[in-house]
């Protein structure tokens, strides 16, 4: 795969997984570009570096050699670049920005904005050295959320009302050739919760109906059961032995308020059992998919640069990169 598009419902860790996937793909001496299209500077925060300008910059060294470069696509700069490339109008475009015309145009014609964003990513995929070798071994796009992904990627449909021919239409056709290529995959990030899983299922269906390539499903922040199955069942039914828990609390040196602490622990165990049962139900729903599934753990210390490398290792171990 040359282009990896990563999407997911907000709050599922989409940007984190995209960054970890880029690290995993770059391991072993490869060069990978990580692209952000939403203007949130999430990549810079993850890699603990200053806000990214509209240029490709190295942000990390991958395990066993290799490097990750990052690009935060600025819609206005990308449009100016587009006007210069196809119409030789960069100077005029800069004048238009002072009057807010570009913001106005991309607001009333959002399909044009998507063509520009996906087009810049597609150009990075197609870019070669003089000897024909690709500049980047892979490109990872941190894409918009699941609910918008099919429309965002299906740029031909979006520009059909804007242009039937000419540079915009030709550009859209070029973008679609990259997106529909067998070297492209759209990956979904989800949590084992009802709404993210449902959006993942709906998003995969929407892509398939549009003829767009679906990759894998990354289950993020999975939490393994902290109790054996028999205790989980008892906790879910409210059947834990409070006297036994109280004895354990006292044995741990917490003599004061031992009974109260035991009741609190039993309540936490019941919540954990409910959460575990929910995870299993959502796993079964994901099990109906034909796409490969990759399970990523919840990071105990939160998401930092060291955590990204841990997630990249988990991705490599499961054969996703």
Place of tokens 């035991």: 262
Between residues 97 and 23, the one the model is more confident about: 23
DSSP letter string, 258-291: HHHHHHHHHHHHHHHHHHHHHHHHHHHHHTT-SS
Give the pLDDT score at 18: 98
Q: Using pLDDT thresholds of 50, 70 and 90, give the confidence band for residue 164.
A: low
pLDDT, residue 293, reads 96
Is 93's pLDDT higher than 70?
no
Is the pLDDT reported for residue 80 higher than 90?
no
- Mapping DSSP to helix (H, G, I), strand (E, B) and coil, where does residue 179 land? helix
pLDDT range class, residue 146, cuts 50, 70, 90: very high
What is the per-residue pLDDT across 171-207, written as a single tens digit (0 to 9) for each?
778 888 899 999 999 999 999 999 999 999 999 999 9
Of 57, 292, 21, the residue nearest 139 (C-alpha): 21
What band does 105 get if pLDDT is binned at 50, 70 and 90? low
pLDDT tens track for 291-315: 999 999 998 888 889 999 999 999 9
Q: What is the value of pTM for the model shown?
A: 0.86
pLDDT at residue number 291? 96
């Amino acid at each position: 795969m040359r282009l990896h598009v990563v999407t997911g419902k907000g709050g599922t860790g989409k940007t984190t997984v995209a960054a970890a996937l880029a690290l995993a793909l770059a391991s072993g001496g490869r060069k990978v570009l990580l692209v952000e299209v939403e203007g949130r500077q999430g990549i810079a925060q993850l890699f603990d570096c200053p806000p990214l300008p509209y240029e490709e910059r190295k942000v990390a060294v991958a395990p066993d050699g290799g490097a990750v470069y990052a690009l935060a696509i600025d819609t206005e700069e990308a449009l100016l670049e587009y006007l210069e490339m196809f119409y030789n109008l960069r100077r005029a475009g800069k004048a238009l920005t002072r009057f807010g015309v570009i913001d106005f145009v991309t607001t009333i014609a959002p399909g044009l904005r998507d063509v520009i964003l996906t087009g810049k990513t597609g150009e990075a995929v197609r870019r070669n050295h003089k000897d024909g070798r690709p500049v980047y071994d892979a490109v990872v796009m941190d894409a918009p959320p699941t609910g918008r992904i099919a429309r965002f990627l299906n740029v031909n449909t979006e520009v059909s009302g804007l242009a039937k021919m000419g540079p915009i239409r030709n550009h859209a056709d070029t973008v679609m050739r990259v997106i529909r290529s067998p070297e492209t995959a759209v990956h979904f990030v989800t949590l084992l919760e009802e709404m993210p899983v449902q959006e993942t299922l709906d998003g995969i269906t929407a892509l398939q109906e549009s003829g767009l390539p679906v990759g894998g499903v990354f289950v993020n922040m999975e939490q393994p059961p902290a109790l054996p199955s028999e205790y989980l069942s008892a906790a879910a039914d409210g059947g834990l032995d409070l006297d036994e828990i109280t004895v354990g609390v006292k044995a741990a040196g917490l003599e004061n308020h031992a009974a109260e602490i035991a009741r609190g622990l039993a309540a936490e165990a019941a919540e954990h059992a409910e959460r575990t049962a929910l995870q299993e139900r959502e796993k079964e729903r994901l099990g109906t998919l034909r796409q490969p599934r990759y399970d990523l753990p919840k990071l105990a210390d939160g998401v930092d640069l060291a955590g990204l490398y841990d997630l990249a290792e988990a991705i490599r171990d499961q054969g996703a990169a």
